[in-house]
Structure 1
Amino acid sequence: MGGASSTQRQMQELQDALKSKEAEVERLRVLTKALEESKSDGPSKEHHVSPAVRASVLMPMSVDAARSQRSQKHMDLSFQDAAPKLNDANAMKRRVEVSAEIIMTKKVAGYEKVIYPKSEASKELILKVIQQNILFNGLSLGEQTDCVDAFMCVEKDPGVEVITQGDQGDHFYVVQSGTLDILVSLKGNIPIKFGQMVPGMGFGELALLCNTPRAATIKSTTRCVLWALDRIVFRNICTYHESIRHEKAFQFLRGVSVFDKLSSAELTRVAAAMQWEEYNPDTVLLREGEVGDYFYLITSGEVCVSKRDPVTQEDEVLRYLIVGEHFGEMALFKDETRSATCTSTSAVQLLTLAREHFCALLGSLQELMERSEQPQSPSKKNSLALEGRHSIKYAVDVELNDLEIIQTLGSGAFGRVKLVQHRDSHETFALKCLVKSHIVANNLKEHVVNEKRVMMMLDHPFILKLHHTYKDSTYVYFLLELALGGELFTFLRRREKFDEVSARFYIASVVLAFEHMHGKSIAYRDLKPENLILDARGFLKVVDFGLAKVVHDRTWTLCGTPDYLAPEIILNRGHDKAVDYWALGILIYELIAGTVPFYAEDPMQVYSLVLTGNIKFPVYFGRTCVDLIQKLLTQNPVRRIGNLKHGVHDIINHRWFSGYDWEGLLKQKIVPPIVPQLKSNTDASYFERIGEETYEPEPCNWDPEF
């Protein structure tokens, strides 16, 4: 009887468990259906909710998992039957760029630590949480300590919304005690519970990058104690420590005699290329008789240099090296066996540089040392600034009142682009109209003024020409060259993908545009198919310079489109024009595969994929194409093709472009893959029909130089 009773009890438990699972499956089915219905209504910047909100974005991968992924090869060379496909809801969605406010980050001078008192237990909890988060991955111990100190305590009563879906965020939170519900509203309906936050979890990390809308509401269910880190504080910490590292490396290099002939700009690049390494006491750093190809600089600790006596076979100490001294410099000249053994006598920190990387960056050290003195031009930076303001005049002399609006070509968060015609000459243009009050409200005044300055510096057949600018009490205006062939994005989504021949035509056009921009120290920072349009003949034009900037050293503002962001932008390490070459690699992949290599619906998942760097290539990718993409998607920007000794010419001379008619392209003698069929200079049939505004924005007293 007892056995039968036990069997019945087990059967009942299994049935109950089955019913519970069926109920859970049904609940997920309903949620999935609701989510898909919300997507089908069209993209929404403010209330887009990804499935990742339910779990992964709020519970990021562990440090061990991230390291495990990083330990794999940088690129997955296996070829798959097909690239990952975007679902129908995403197939025609235009991606919106993100941009953090321009912050005057405190670098080496003037940096003040932000410290909020907390117990050792709280510090340990916060440290454990941030070490499991992708945005803190790779931070030094000093950076992590400063971040932990900068978390401030926030207490919430039950029923309080800590963050609200759709609101702009500027804090990352760690839960010390209490519980909170994760609530997501689909299509504006009653919020649905997607999970729960408990002690030891963190949420809202995307706010540390930029002020994007929150994807979910987090509401306290009990009294909670939270720790919050502010975005500006986080970015200042990262900027300060990176600046310290860079300045320290630069100053050490200035004391190395073999680098005497290098200019300050070249030393800066070498400093950025060097790796920071740490070793325990009694570690053999290099051994006598080995072939060496690394140069070492001591930044802390002590190193013993010894040589084996050929008779006694005993190691004889020659000397001790201390902070600021170096060894292995002959490795930068040629392959040569080490003449001595170097061993750490204490914990040491070293800056290391491989000859391979040095030569790719600047060329042979022997050639650099033998070159004649080149006079430096201290006024180069100023001349560029003057060039942007004075040297290139407006292309046409047209008054705003003489323009007649034909129709709207596109719309965005801050204004619209309209097809306009000059009443007297009947010449047509594109008029970009930006709402001044929206620009001011989003702290983007400097972006807009900078856009004008940058465009005034540019004059290239594959870059949309700025003809004139205007302003009134409500708008600032850009009068632009008109390109009626439509967006490359639209053609890509209709065709799903391009063959390599067609993709090469468009990529070559971008490469030539980059050559022009980068020659003027301009980083574009927003490459994607949505910002590439075709003119009436089918030739490509790079458009939208809202995120472009003159960069002579490095800049720190996070901006761009998540799918195209380079690792150094995500990690807030400072960036320059090298980010454009990373984006070029993404663009090549997307044009040929029909989707980006690092795809996820949630931005944090995209960033995680970017930082792990594993790519699967479809079988139809040619080997030379794969090779170029690999060299463009190099994690370290100072080792990325396009950013090396020969600059963009390394890309032009790559095997993927072997035999390509660059001169014919530049002179527009090649027949484009797509030739638009236009009836007149006002034919906007390649653009979606957009209704006109039904309201007039409020006037604004912002008065820029337009």
Structure 2
Amino acid sequence: MATLLDQVTELENKIKNHDAYGTSYKWSPRDFELGKALGQGKFGHVHVAREKKTQFLVAIKALFKSQIVGSKCERQVLREIEIQSHLKHPNILRLLTWFHDERRIYLVLEFAAGGELYKHLTNAPCGRFPERTAARYIYQVADAVDYCHQHHVIHRDIKPENILVSSDGDLKLADFGWSVHAPSERRKTMCGTLDYLPPEMIKREVYDVSVDHWCIGVLLYEFLVGKPPFESEGQSSTYTRILTLDMTYPKYVPEGAKDLISKLLRQSSKERLPLEGVKNHFWVQKFRN
């Protein structure tokens, strides 16, 4: 059986042989000066770093191979690297390059100086975004996810914690740990975050890219209210609320936003508004100019 080192080396060769990744330079930790810690992930730490030659700021995520193997997440991590290596969109966090040594895998990522969107949301007045901000943000997320879908990638874990903010205030969809490349666009794995799970996942049904449409509806609600629409005490009650679409809108949620959310949070995945429809929705367009 191939070791993680073998698998990583094979993936490295595969990506470098791709037309867009023909560079032969072998990066190493010596090329970077590590700065302050930005956060801690499941398998390691994230630091801001400076590339010594160009002084270019990046974020470096160092993953411990032993922890990846111990958690039996080799396939998930390798899939995340391969998917994010090929996505190039202004609202998707770029994986600029990556390398590895005996102990770690290093992901060199675009540095999003604004940090996690979740922190911006919790620090906003009343813990929610004004509608102009929410509309602008939801357009950017929908555009990024639409790009993913055009490249047969389902994100499967869209939420404020997995979105970063750039220095100029634009959003960067990040954390592709649960993403999958699915040309057939039909999957059955249950994954993601409890409050964002769509009905078809809870019912263990086959699903497609429209699970991301559902998540965008939940996301918009959280932008405007400060919490997800189906949040409950326990898992079973959250499941029940999702399956029965048991949700209420506070009075301050604008009618246009309610209309958009209601077109995304549909039990039938076929009835959910296409992402082009999200971007062109009258409420979103109202704040585009």
Shared fold per TM-score greater than 0.5: yes
Q: Give the structure 2 partner of residue 240 of structure 1.
A: none
Q: Give the structure 2 partner of residue 342 of structure 1.
A: none
> Using a 3 Å threshold, how does the CA distance of structure 1 residues 659 and 614 change in structure 2: closer, same or farther?
same
Q: Which of 116, 120, 124 pairs up with 1:491?
A: 120
- Structure with bigger helix share is 2
Q: Give the structure 2 partner of residue 507 of structure 1.
A: 138
> Using a 3 Å threshold, how does the CA distance of structure 1 residues 396 and 464 change in structure 2: closer, same or farther?
farther
Q: Give the structure 2 partner of residue 393 of structure 1.
A: 21
Q: Which amino acid aligns with 1:416?
A: H
> Using a 3 Å threshold, how does the CA distance of structure 1 residues 613 and 391 change in structure 2: closer, same or farther?
farther
Task: Give the number of the structure whose alpha-carbon radius of gyration is greater.
Answer: 1
Name the SS of the counterpart of 1:430 in structure 2: strand
How far apart are the structure 2 equivalents of 1:388 and 1:503?
38
How far apart are the structure 2 equivalents of 1:473 and 1:387?
20
Q: Give the structure 2 partner of residue 599 of structure 1.
A: 231
Are positions 1:530 and 2:157 aligned together? no
Paired residues in the alignment total: 272
The gaps in structure 1 that reach 5 residues or longer are 1-385, 643-647, 665-706
Q: Give the structure 1 partner of residue 203 of structure 2.
A: 571
Q: CA deviation at 1:629?
A: 0.6
Q: Give the structure 2 partner of residue 610 of structure 1.
A: 242
Q: Deviations over 1:39-78 (max 9, x none)?
A: xxxxxxxxxxxxxxxxxxxxxxxxxxxxxxxxxxxxxxxx
Are positions 1:438 and 2:70 aligned together? no
How far apart are the structure 2 equivalents of 1:638 and 1:454?
26
How far apart are the structure 2 equivalents of 1:606 and 1:516?
30
* 2:149–2:209 contact (8 Å) kept in structure 1: yes
How far apart are the structure 2 equivalents of 1:388 and 1:624?
46
Are positions 1:542 and 2:173 aligned together? yes
Q: Which of 44, 49, 55 pairs up with 1:420?
A: 49
How far apart are the structure 1 equivalents of 2:268 and 2:192?
18
How far apart are the structure 2 equivalents of 1:562 and 1:652?
26
Q: CA deviation at 1:513?
A: 0.4
Name the SS of the counterpart of 2:207 in structure 1: coil
Name the SS of the counterpart of 1:392 in structure 2: helix
Q: Which amino acid aligns with 1:451?
A: E
Name the SS of the counterpart of 1:420 in structure 2: strand
> Using a 3 Å threshold, how does the CA distance of structure 1 residues 397 and 429 change in structure 2: closer, same or farther?
farther
Are positions 1:623 and 2:255 aligned together? yes
Are positions 1:521 and 2:152 aligned together? yes
Are positions 1:658 and 2:289 aligned together? no
| Pairs within 5 Å for 1:367-382 | none
The TM-score, its normalising length taken from structure 1, stands at 0.37
How far apart are the structure 1 equivalents of 2:15 and 2:263?
33
Are positions 1:586 and 2:218 aligned together? yes
The gaps in structure 2 that reach 5 residues or longer are 1-13
How far apart are the structure 2 equivalents of 1:391 and 1:607?
45
Q: CA deviation at 1:398?
A: 6.7
Q: Give the structure 2 partner of residue 49 of structure 1.
A: none
Q: Deviations over 1:496-541 (max 9, x none)?
A: 0111111111111101101211111110111111111111111111
Q: Which of 235, 259, 276 pairs up with 1:649?
A: 276
Q: CA deviation at 1:394?
A: 7.2
Q: Which of 72, 79, 86 pairs up with 1:457?
A: 86
* 1:497–1:593 contact (8 Å) kept in structure 2: yes
Q: CA deviation at 1:413?
A: 2.3
Q: Give the structure 1 partner of residue 37 of structure 2.
A: 408
Q: CA deviation at 1:389?
A: 6.9
Q: Give the structure 2 partner of residue 477 of structure 1.
A: 106
* 1:396–1:467 contact (8 Å) kept in structure 2: no
* 1:598–1:615 contact (8 Å) kept in structure 2: yes
* 2:63–2:106 contact (8 Å) kept in structure 1: yes
The TM-score, its normalising length taken from structure 2, stands at 0.88
Name the SS of the counterpart of 1:618 in structure 2: coil
How far apart are the structure 1 equivalents of 2:86 and 2:42?
26
Q: CA deviation at 1:603?
A: 2.3
How far apart are the structure 2 equivalents of 1:565 and 1:649?
22
> Using a 3 Å threshold, how does the CA distance of structure 1 residues 581 and 499 change in structure 2: closer, same or farther?
same
| Pairs within 5 Å for 1:75-90 | none
**Paired-residue identity, %:** 34
Name the SS of the counterpart of 2:18 in structure 1: helix
Q: Which amino acid aligns with 1:427?
A: F
How far apart are the structure 1 equivalents of 2:236 and 2:23?
43
Q: Give the structure 2 partner of residue 429 of structure 1.
A: 58
Q: Give the structure 2 partner of residue 164 of structure 1.
A: none
How far apart are the structure 1 equivalents of 2:17 and 2:256?
42
Q: CA deviation at 1:457?
A: 1.9
Q: Give the structure 2 partner of residue 270 of structure 1.
A: none
How far apart are the structure 2 equivalents of 1:500 and 1:518?
26
How far apart are the structure 1 equivalents of 2:191 and 2:90?
26
Question: Which runs of at least 4 in structure 1 moved beyond 6 Å after TM superposition?
Answer: 386-389
Q: Which amino acid aligns with 2:77?
A: V
How far apart are the structure 1 equivalents of 2:181 and 2:42?
24
How far apart are the structure 1 equivalents of 2:16 and 2:264?
29
> Using a 3 Å threshold, how does the CA distance of structure 1 residues 590 and 423 change in structure 2: closer, same or farther?
same
Q: CA deviation at 1:659?
A: 4.2
> Using a 3 Å threshold, how does the CA distance of structure 1 residues 528 and 422 change in structure 2: closer, same or farther?
same
